Structure 1
Amino acid sequence: MMSANHSAPAASARIVASVKGCTRQYPGVLALDNATFEVAAGEVRALLGKNGAGKSTMIRLLTGAEIPDSGTVSIDGIELGQTGSVRAQEAFENGVRVVYQELSLVPGMTLAENLFLGRWPRQGGVIQYAKMEAQAAEAMARLGLDLPTNRLVMSLSPAERQLLEIARVLIGKPKLVILDEPTSSLAAAEAEKVMNAVTRIASEGIAVIYVSHRMNEIRQIAHSATVMRDGRIIDTVDVKGAETREIVRLMLGSEASQVALLETNSRERMALEVKDLAVLPKLRSISFKLREGEVLGIAGLLGSGRTELLQAIMGIRSFSRGEMQVDGSAVKTPRYRQMVSRGFGYTPESRKEEGIVPLLGVDENALATNFAAVSRNGILSTRLMAEAARRVIDRLHVKTARTDTPIGTLSGGNQQKVVIGRWVHADSRVLLLDEPTRGVDVEAKAQIYAIIRQLAAEGRSIIFVSSEIEELPLVCDRVLVLRDGTLQEEFHSPNIDQDAVMAACITGH
């Protein structure tokens, strides 16, 4: 884990962005209510709040995309005074840059071409490629991104693409960089690269506003956090001194939907037993048992092998050694289809890349694990699909107007519910959940915790992998710590202390 080793800006640091007394109302919705907010040069300010809290409206005010009904917005002491599209250009010229959650890169163009997209340097109407590539290399070097400028974007990893988006906003002397959920679609190890980039940006004296639902990231890189709720600025707190429970309370307006002492549903019967499993080089010797009705958490540092463990159990990744017992029978070389037929289900770490097909409907995404159940004579039945999808939607409280709504238009939390729901549709008895709350807001997380506990109460067995140590006590009956290729320590509810779990994860490192 990276630590927040960059120091907070001095109290005398100049204010780069200031929102004073801003109100913005849409038909039937008060998006911002007398909001006042400011961020200083070199500061990393987390902007927190559940969906609908007003974060997006605040960002649009700062970028000039929206005009407040009342109040003022100033960048580096200069008040934005224009209207329409000219206001956005004014904010840009004053040094405001934003990287949105959905990337805007062109896969078939080079890195340099993407960095200067729409702003290619020209002389006499001719693009100056040498100048463009030199400036592109300089911008990438500021983030530690060492890649050929003539490489095509389509060949980049998700983290490299995100870093390229950030590098693009560094061109032209920015004063304020706004990052909207920059790591929501990234694996944990890749997110580390983005957080290092944020620290570099702040060290240059650039103000950063960082929107994220990942509390572990916020604690690593942010100096302070502004919490929004119902269009209002509730409070701004020092990240180092604020407890996660208090931040969540500020976001929700009350204590989060948490059960202090989980009611265990685990039974004596074993659903899965893993014996001396090895997936080299990450996993050397893994042995554990999973009971029916149990939620078993797996904790560990980035790169400890948590994902490899789930994939090995599911038959996606081969064992180097070991075997499993499922319902008392040995499984030495599992295969994915075989494990699905045995009642196992798996939700991947990267929801957007591997978990959903964005252009297909909620129904097709939710029912893909068992189309036979909604078919007649080998042909999909529209009626049966709608009925089955509605059962998943109702049971997991998915917010969607129609069963055939493209899943890509849903919020991250609702997408994740559908990904879990497809295994409920398949009637899976053992669920392997890899980062099931990644990229979702606090309210959706609480709903997913409740869904998991309900599935366990029905007798399903669940392995829950999470990078956010603080959520493990909220949902798990038991937590195993994965370190140095083996399972080192074990914690039982209600005595799962997140500090003790974290200490166990880092011991020996």
Structure 2
Amino acid sequence: MSETTADAAAPDAEVVARVRGATKSYPGVTALDHADFEIRAGEVRALLGRNGAGKSTLIRLLAGVETPDEGRIELGGVPFDGGGVRRAAELGVGTVYQELSLVPELSAAENLYLGTWPTGRGRIDYAAMRAGAKEIFGELGVDIASETRVGELPLAQQQLVEIARAFLTRPRLLILDEPTSALAAAEAEAVLEAVTRVASHGVGVIYVSHRLEEIRRVADSVTVMRDGAVVETVPVRGATTDRIVSLMLGDGNGDERAQAPVARVTAVKGPPLLSVRDLSVPPKIEDVSFDLRQGEVLGLGGLMGSGRTELLRALAGFTPARGVIEVEGTEVVRPTPHAMRRLGVGITPEDRKGEGVVPLLGVSENMVMSWFGGASRAGTVLPSRVSSLGRALIERLSIKTAAPDTPIVNLSGGNQQKAVIGRWLHAGSRILLLDEPTRGVDVEAKAQIYGIVRELAQQGAAVLFVSSELEELPLVCDRVLALRGGRLEGEFSGDDITLDNIMAAAMAA
């Protein structure tokens, strides 16, 4: 593939999808606000916008997952007024979502034809299936043996199987939702090549991504969304990063950029509690170096697929890594979760529900489980001490719960998150790695978590605050690092900590 973008669709090419005045509301929020959108055959259209801009809602309408409250949709010139996913597919829409939907134990060919296996004499025609898979893979330039079990394929090739499965139906419109978010740059190359080949067959492609370097290579045009509305569609050629970021963020009136940040520590003195030198986690993280000092809240901002979580898991000892990690000036020779916990490192995982809490245990039990020392005597955990310690943490963190032994699953997301942070306060951790600590919590809970983080830093903790919601970093951090493609691409402090600067560094091509 050349370094230039794909050739733009002819202006007289067929319009494969058209949206006019589409509005979609949910309780308390307008997800899509009178949006207009259209795409032509052979065109690759990138769809950009911050979290909550309306991208997902727009593609769900086109895919038949949702129906608009107002407005109209046409697919291939035919009015689409409902009928769900099956009707959208009949009208030529294929969709590949961010999460893979493959069956690992089946072959690549079986996954392609999942639910639509060719038959003959009452049996599945495996020869026809393998021949069909070979043809589709050939058209997309994909080198995958049709008999290979999907679970044995690298992640990039699994993504290609997903795209091939959607292309098998010969769609007029193919929607790709963050198809490379879990891939390193080198792995994404084959996916970009497949997208170009799909478009060369006259298919309109909606390509949702935040990776501008990919968008510049594969897309003809970019539609930017903000606050549920389509702001503007611009040609990729000549559209600068500053221009795109400006369209995504707007003028700042009334949004998060206008909020006053907390009082920052402008110059943190003293030796670092955590030092990282040339840390690499192939293929997601490459040569990352930084210091985290006592009393500092260091933000780490990056978009989906930037390597945020992989970096934190390496620092907490869950993922093997190359490079040097030092805690209070001493190198950690073999970082493991147990070793890092003993050195005072605590981590709140991105997946709070799956990895952060034990749902049916009480709030107190969840908060003391990382260190039972204070809750036990002679090796026996004492329920009375668990309850007493829990009550103190519940009061300190303003956790709303009926009782310390209330199952934590009954709490709101924000209160669960505060309890997960409380676990590391109980364990005496001085270095806190917070991965998406405000994901899925309401505005009030976010403000409370910001306050907790600042208070912990004032009491001498060192906090690494990781977020994909870049707008919250200026509100809570003393310093911010921008991560893109596994590399640090910018460092900001003081008045330079702005959403515009962070976004530009996280997206820059």
- What TM-score does the superposition give when structure 2 sets the normalisation length? 0.69
Q: Aligned to 2:16, what secondary structure does the other structure show?
A: strand
Counterpart-to-counterpart distance in 2, 1:162 and 1:414: 36
Aligned to 1:110: 107
Aligned to 1:5: 5
Q: Where do residues 354-503 of structure 1 align in structure 2 (5 Å cutoff)?
A: 356-357=354-355, 361=359, 367=367, 370=370, 372=372, 377-378=380-381, 404-405=408-409, 423=424, 426-432=427-433, 436=436, 455-463=456-464, 477-478=478-479, 492-495=493-496, 498=501
Contact 1:228 1:251 in 2 (8 A): no
Aligned to 2:174: 177
Aligned to 2:346: 345
Q: Where do residues 121-160 of structure 1 align in structure 2 (5 Å cutoff)?
A: 121-143=118-140, 145-160=142-157
Shift of 1:46: 0.5
Note closer, same or farther for the CA distance 1:160–1:11 as it changes in structure 2 (3 Å cut).
same
Is 2:207 the counterpart of 1:206? Answer: no
Note closer, same or farther for the CA distance 1:89–1:500 as it changes in structure 2 (3 Å cut).
closer
Counterpart-to-counterpart distance in 2, 1:215 and 1:355: 31
> Which moved further from structure 2: 37-46 or 170-179?
37-46
Aligned to 1:291: 293
Letter in 1 for 2:130: E
Counterpart-to-counterpart distance in 1, 2:213 and 2:337: 32
Shift of 1:70: 4.7
Aligned to 2:229: 233
Q: Aligned to 1:5, what secondary structure does the other structure show?
A: coil
Contact 1:316 1:336 in 2 (8 A): yes
Contact 1:360 1:406 in 2 (8 A): no
Note closer, same or farther for the CA distance 1:149–1:287 as it changes in structure 2 (3 Å cut).
closer
1:324 to 323, 326, 329: 326
Counterpart-to-counterpart distance in 2, 1:8 and 1:225: 14
Letter in 1 for 2:229: I
> Which moved further from structure 2: 363-372 or 6-15?
363-372
Counterpart-to-counterpart distance in 2, 1:319 and 1:188: 19
Q: What's the C-alpha RMSD, in Å, of the aligned pairs?
A: 5.7
Note closer, same or farther for the CA distance 1:486–1:20 as it changes in structure 2 (3 Å cut).
closer
CA offsets per residue over residues 174-204 of structure 1, 9 Å max, x none?
Answer: 1112233445556676566655544543454
Note closer, same or farther for the CA distance 1:55–1:265 as it changes in structure 2 (3 Å cut).
same
Is 2:37 the counterpart of 1:37? Answer: yes
Shift of 1:171: 0.7
Counterpart-to-counterpart distance in 2, 1:395 and 1:243: 40
Q: Where do residues 276-315 of structure 1 align in structure 2 (5 Å cutoff)?
A: 289-296=291-298, 313-315=315-317
CA offsets per residue over residues 87-135 of structure 1, 9 Å max, x none?
Answer: x433212210112344332232222111111111123322221221222
Letter in 2 for 1:20: R
Letter in 2 for 1:372: F
Counterpart-to-counterpart distance in 2, 1:252 and 1:362: 44
CA offsets per residue over residues 410-441 of structure 1, 9 Å max, x none?
Answer: 7xx9999887776456453213467x599999
> Which moved further from structure 2: 174-183 or 302-311?
302-311
Contact 1:294 1:462 in 2 (8 A): yes
Contact 1:297 1:476 in 2 (8 A): yes
Counterpart-to-counterpart distance in 2, 1:56 and 1:26: 13
CA offsets per residue over residues 323-350 of structure 1, 9 Å max, x none?
Answer: 7352x666555443122122113467xx
Aligned to 2:403: none
CA offsets per residue over residues 306-337 of structure 1, 9 Å max, x none?
Answer: 988766654456787867352x6665554431
Q: Aligned to 2:292, what secondary structure does the other structure show?
A: strand
Contact 2:261 2:476 in 1 (8 A): no
Note closer, same or farther for the CA distance 1:273–1:142 as it changes in structure 2 (3 Å cut).
same
Contact 2:399 2:418 in 1 (8 A): no
Letter in 1 for 2:198: I
Q: Aligned to 1:150, what secondary structure does the other structure show?
A: coil
Q: How many residues align?
A: 484
Counterpart-to-counterpart distance in 2, 1:133 and 1:390: 59
Q: Aligned to 1:256, what secondary structure does the other structure show?
A: helix
Aligned to 1:399: none
Is 2:121 the counterpart of 1:119? Answer: no
Counterpart-to-counterpart distance in 2, 1:130 and 1:359: 48
Shift of 1:277: 7.0
Counterpart-to-counterpart distance in 1, 2:245 and 2:361: 36
Q: Aligned to 2:257, what secondary structure does the other structure show?
A: coil
Counterpart-to-counterpart distance in 2, 1:318 and 1:271: 23
Contact 1:279 1:318 in 2 (8 A): no
Letter in 2 for 1:290: L
Aligned to 1:58: 58
Note closer, same or farther for the CA distance 1:145–1:471 as it changes in structure 2 (3 Å cut).
farther
Contact 2:278 2:286 in 1 (8 A): yes
Counterpart-to-counterpart distance in 2, 1:210 and 1:143: 16
> Which moved further from structure 2: 114-123 or 234-243?
234-243
Q: Aligned to 2:370, what secondary structure does the other structure show?
A: helix
Contact 2:368 2:375 in 1 (8 A): no
Letter in 1 for 2:169: G
Counterpart-to-counterpart distance in 1, 2:23 and 2:118: 39
Extract unaligned runs of 5+ from structure 1.
397-401
Counterpart-to-counterpart distance in 2, 1:345 and 1:3: 43
Contact 1:277 1:286 in 2 (8 A): yes
CA offsets per residue over residues 43-88 of structure 1, 9 Å max, x none?
Answer: 323153644x65554334323344445543211212236x545xx4
Counterpart-to-counterpart distance in 1, 2:140 and 2:165: 11
Counterpart-to-counterpart distance in 2, 1:165 and 1:486: 28
Aligned to 1:72: 72
Counterpart-to-counterpart distance in 1, 2:503 and 2:86: 50
2:97 to 84, 87, 100: 100
Counterpart-to-counterpart distance in 1, 2:48 and 2:160: 20
Note closer, same or farther for the CA distance 1:183–1:404 as it changes in structure 2 (3 Å cut).
farther
Note closer, same or farther for the CA distance 1:439–1:247 as it changes in structure 2 (3 Å cut).
farther
Shift of 1:140: 3.7
Note closer, same or farther for the CA distance 1:380–1:251 as it changes in structure 2 (3 Å cut).
farther
Q: Aligned to 2:145, what secondary structure does the other structure show?
A: coil
Shift of 1:227: 1.4
Note closer, same or farther for the CA distance 1:489–1:94 as it changes in structure 2 (3 Å cut).
closer
